[in-house]
Structure 1
Amino acid sequence: MHGTCDAVVIGAGHNGLTCAAYLAKAGLSVLVLDAYDRVGGQCTSEELTLPGYQSDVHAIGYQFANLSPTPDELKLAEHGFELIRSNPNIVHVFPDGTSNGLFATIDETCESIGKFSNRDAQTWRTLFEGYLAQKEAITASVNYPPISFSDQTAGLSSPRGGFDLFRFQLQSVRAWADEVFEAPQTKLLVGTWAAHVGVAPDDGGGASLASLFNTVIQDGGNNLVKGGMHNLPRALVAVIQAHGGKVRTGTKVEKICVVNSKAVAVRLRDGEEIEVGTLVASSADPRHLALDLLGEDVIGGDVAANIRRYEYGLAAMSVFLALDRPCHYTAGEMPARSPAVHCTPANFEYLGQVFLEVRSGLLPSEPFCALWNEGSIDPSRIPPGKGLLKLFIAPVPYKIKGDAVGTISATTWDEAKEPFVNRLIARLERDFVPDLRQRIVAEAIQTPVDFERLLPSCYQGTVMHGSMVAYQMGAMRPIPELSGYRAPVSNVYLCGAGSHPGAGISMLPGRNAAQVIFRDLGIDFARTLAAY
């Protein structure tokens, strides 16, 4: 057995690094281990198309993290972390050349929405004012471990708005949007965000997710990390190292060694064992932690059975396009000034059909994607005068059973990816970006299978460490036996997106896990932060 440290953190994604940084600040000797050859997990940036074109490989938008105090608490700006906030925040374009969007100010947003409905503009203002009135409570709900399920349901039984809140939390995007807005363009602007977390228009729970996404973006922006998303994990690593911690990449953990219900070491792929002085924290996806790193003999048959039925949701893929110059949108100049552009018809039937086809295992006939204007928003990522676009396509099937159109016969992603991407680009050219194909000088495609090959935590091509469905959120995430950031082993903790508050770039699961660990070790969290 080699080496000893107080805390071993498995996974150098942004949540694992966040947890490790807080532990290092508290004076613990910390070692972070990751199988990939660089830090960041799903927060990496690479030259995927051509030299000099820096693309965000997985995560790109910085939205929910607007609610996180971590950048200030850890002083990430001192280590090269900087955000770019654009105006507009998001633009939604339609096939007839019209558009709307969320802008930096509520007045600008209401003006944009008001092009289609003055009533909707006032409704959005009222909804946003309601968010601001509750912002302190919303922020607290995600910045601390979740309240118990019984306390949550007790709150819903309150005669003052309890039923309305319960209804809203289970309501679908379509039902909610039809209830509060009148223009289909407004409904799609606000409702489309739910699709990014695998929620179809008629799935339960989509309303609250879409409402929160949009109001957080209206308030704090839909930001990009300057120079690439990789500058977030790089800053976190700098904090860890400044406090004596270490990070090792290309180092795969194969087993957490447990003796008498306590983790005593971690065993690496090459056979090396590293002694654990105090604790192990894992940001790996919860199924991998439970079944592989710990094992059924440690967690027990009931827990193993529960985690095996944990739902991961639908797969995703990305296309990266290096351009000889920025492309043009049919809707005018505004979309090119936005970090993200959604392109759909002005109805939920389109999105519903995409989900129906994908859930049947079919390549969708009209794929849905978000266009991310990486190059125009952050010119530091590209050579002068060039362009860089990322297409994030979700949902898509992980296992291809067929093609909704019947023109693609391939049933493996390695064979199907080129004709499928050609279909997508043809659709975008037809309805939204007429000069797209002629601007492309190089492309790179990452399919769901590529996601999983690169990062095992992208289980079956998913990117969320578990679906964001109602029974896998809050105190029930990932499952009750692994909730509250604790594994069924006394000194093993969960600190990844498979824990509350869930998926996305936020640093919140890592920070919340650190709070639980501090409490268990008798360390004052606030006093530790105030000391630096």
Structure 2
Amino acid sequence: MQAYDAIVVGAGHNGLTCACYLARAGLQTLVLDQYHTVGGMATTEELTLPGFRSDVHAFGFQFANLSPVPDELGLADFGLELIRPEINYSHVFPGGGIISMHREVEDTVASIGRYSKADGQTWRRLAGDFVQARDNIARWMNSPPASLADEIGNMARSPSGMEEYRAGLQSLRSWGMEHFEREETRLFIGGWACHVGLAPDDVGGGHMAWLFASLIQDLGNRAVKGGMHQLPMALAGYLDSQGGAIRTGVRVSKIVVEDGRATGVRLTSGEVIALSPEGIVASNVDPRQLVVDLLGEDHIGRDLVEKMRRYEWGDGYLVIYLALDGPVIYDAGPDAQSSAYVHASPPSFEYLARIYTECRSGRIPASPFMVMLNDSVIDPSRCPEGKAVMKVLVHNVPYEIGGDATGKIDGRTWDKVKEPYADYLIDYLTETYAPTLKRNILKRVVHSPVDIERLMVSAVHGTVTHGAILPYQLGSQRPLPELAHYRTPVLNVYLCGSGSHPGPGITMAPGRNAAQVMLRDLSALGHERTSAG
């Protein structure tokens, strides 16, 4: 039986990224995944009709713009091609209102300026702040997290440190009210906080909204040509070129540990795959699954298992996948129709706050924040000619239903509720933003939070972030302080997924950062043994 130098559990894009660097360093590397293909949260499939290719979860290539991985691994040679649209995204409001973020900042300033000239000028300044900070942000993202003591010390020594500390903790409402005079502008920028589950009054929402929006202004809201799946496929191609192997359709049930070290992994079939004597295991699954299920109390300790059990996951998602008979027409006009990303909401923090109150009380939200992802607008290869493919991402729905804020939905299980709720939401979008949407639908598929979890076991409670974005679950505390530097108490078992710094999204950063830590540990171990010899 072959023994591997590295076994990576989970073939999501971070797991594959980690595996690529390990294989490039000469380790005999195997990646295992329970799904039928690689990609995890970055897959593209014909969910509705043949020829209509939907990104199942991730769509935008956003923070990945700051990653060195595509250049370091030459992913363009393995099929990765990016599309940069002219319009990065639009936010549409009831009654036909719209603000669009264009490729050029001055065009964005003009779009904001239809509501407030002052807000347009403010955005020019805030977008410029990101350009000045970009290199530091990239270094922060693509390095292991600093300790809390170092982070605080560096901030205290910086002339602008206390102002940065304040800005990092501001809620979206506080930050938006400070910088912009119109509610439309506040929602145009602030909608990005919803992508990581931050309500208007949650700590850190203002900084997250600025970070998302200004990065997109600077580097573009790119898409992967042919679908997001082409990214993990390119990583898989590189891994193959380095002698690495991938097995899909197999699930790891346990990491086998003897005398404080992993010696292999056991599959649900009973098969055991062995590690070489100095081999390592890297986990790309959610941190609870690693700590509680794959390792367990006997090997990692009761205290850590109990801490992991109280880990917070955040709010669930519901997704509606649509095959359409033609392009979507918006009341807001041609800029919306040219946008692959469309945020749809009233211009009101009170509206946003109500959604989170309803969701976190266990009720189905009456008017959730929705993102209309018009994949085929910028990538016609995703559907037949003359047709369109869309994904409606419904933020902030409860995993367990305890009530209904719509007043129209019966039932308390998602299997019973998801189709009537999707009917309700499609009617709302058609009546409020896109008058031709409903009659254009050829086929619809709905994934509730429960469906998402069934499909992808690491999508705990129908979330896609491997843990909520909270101050005590970020940086040197993600997922827990004891696990924050990609290491576990089992000496040769590591984390490499979105449950580690810098967190969720398509970044490739946790996988790359973790690989660097593993390779340094292996190098140090080899040096120690050489010195001892």
Q: Could you tell me the TM-score, scaled by structure 2's length?
A: 0.97
Give the conservation status (yes or no) of the 8 Å contact 2:8–2:30: yes
1:24-423 equivalent positions in 2, closer than 5 A? 24-158=23-157, 160-277=159-276, 278-423=279-424
Separation in structure 2 between the aligned mates of residue 32 and residue 249 of structure 1, nearest angstrom: 8
The answer as to whether partners of 2:103 and 2:220 remain within 8 angstroms in 1 is yes
Query: For residues 465 and 358 of structure 1, what CA distance do their matches in structure 2 show?
Result: 19
> What is residue 462 of structure 2 aligned with on the other side?
461
In structure 2, C-alpha distance between the alignment counterparts of 1:405 and 1:385, rounded to whole Å: 35
Q: Which runs of 5+ in 1 are unaligned?
A: 524-532
Contact 2:340–2:376, Cα closer than 8 Å, also in 1: no
Where 2:444 maps in the other structure, the secondary structure is: strand
Query: Aligned equivalents of 2:401 and 2:220: distance in 1?
Result: 36
- The aligned amino acid for 1:130 is D
Structure 2 distance, partners of 1:367, 1:209, is 20
Partner of 2:528: none
Gaps of 5+ in 2: 525-533
Q: CA deviation at 1:158?
A: 3.3
Native 8 Å contact 1:315 1:448 kept in 2 = yes
1: CA distance, partners of 2:97 / 2:410:
35
* Aligned pairs (5 A) from 1:442-461: 442-461=443-462
Matched AA of 1:256: I
1:355-409, CA deviations, whole angstroms, 9 ceiling, x for partnerless residues?
1101110111112210001122210010000011110011111011111132211
Q: Is the 8 A contact 2:340 2:375 kept in 1?
A: yes
2:506 is matched with 505
Task: Provide the rounded CA distance (Å) in 1 between the counterparts of 2:427 and 2:505.
Answer: 30
Q: By how many angstroms is 1:170 displaced? A: 1.1
| Contact 1:194 1:210 survives alignment (8 Å) | yes
Q: TM-score by structure 1 length?
A: 0.97
Contact (CA 8 Å) 1:315, 1:460: kept in 2 or not?
yes
Amino acid at match of 1:396: V
How far does residue 161 in structure 1 lie from its aligned partner after superposition?
2.2
Cα distance in 2 for partners of 1:374, 1:367 equals 21
Deviation at 1:430, TM superposition (A): 1.4
Shift of the alpha carbon at 1:486?
0.5
The amino acid across from 2:501 in the alignment is H
Distance 1:424 1:406 in 2: 13
How far apart, in 2, do the equivalents of 1:62 and 1:320 lie? 19
Counterpart contact for 1:14–1:41, Cα < 8 Å: yes
Contact 2:285 2:497 in 1 (8 A): yes
Deviations 1:43-71 (A, max 9, x none): 11110110000000111111111110101
Q: Which amino acid is the alignment partner of residue 218 of structure 2?
A: D
Shift of 1:159: 6.4
State the partner residue of 1:528.
none
User: What is the one-letter code of the residue matched to 1:519?
Assistant: R
Q: In structure 1, what is the Cα distance between the partners aligned to 2:447 and 2:326? A: 23
Distance (whole Å) between structure 2 residues aligned to residue 89 and residue 26 of structure 1? 37
Preserved CA contact (<8 Å) 1:321 1:443: yes
CA displacement at 1:131 relative to structure 2: 1.1
Equivalent residues of 2:375, 2:389 under 8 A apart: yes
Percent of matched pairs sharing the same residue: 51
Task: State the alpha-carbon separation in 2 of the partners of residues 384 and 136 from structure 1.
Answer: 41
SS of match in other structure, 1:157 = helix
Indicate conservation of the 8 Å contact 1:222/1:339, yes or no: no
- Residue 244 of structure 1 aligns to a residue whose secondary structure is coil
Deviation digits for residues 67-91 of structure 1 (CA, Å, limit 9, x no counterpart):
1010111111111111111111010
Pairwise CA RMSD? 1.0
In 1, distance between residues paired with 2:162 and 2:266? 50
Q: Which amino acid aligns with 2:208?
A: L
The amino acid of 1:95's aligned partner reads P
**CA distance in 1 between partners of 2:337 and 2:9 (Å):** 39
1:317 match: secondary structure: strand
SS of aligned partner of 1:522? helix
Would you say the 8 A contact 2:52–2:384 is kept in 1?
yes
Q: In structure 1, how many angstroms separate the alpha carbons of the residues matched to 2:199 and 2:58?
A: 21
3-state SS, counterpart of residue 89 of structure 1: strand
DSSP 3-state at the match of 1:366: coil
Query: 2:89, 2:340 within 8 Å by CA — same for their partners in 1?
Result: yes
- Which residue is equivalent to 1:526? none
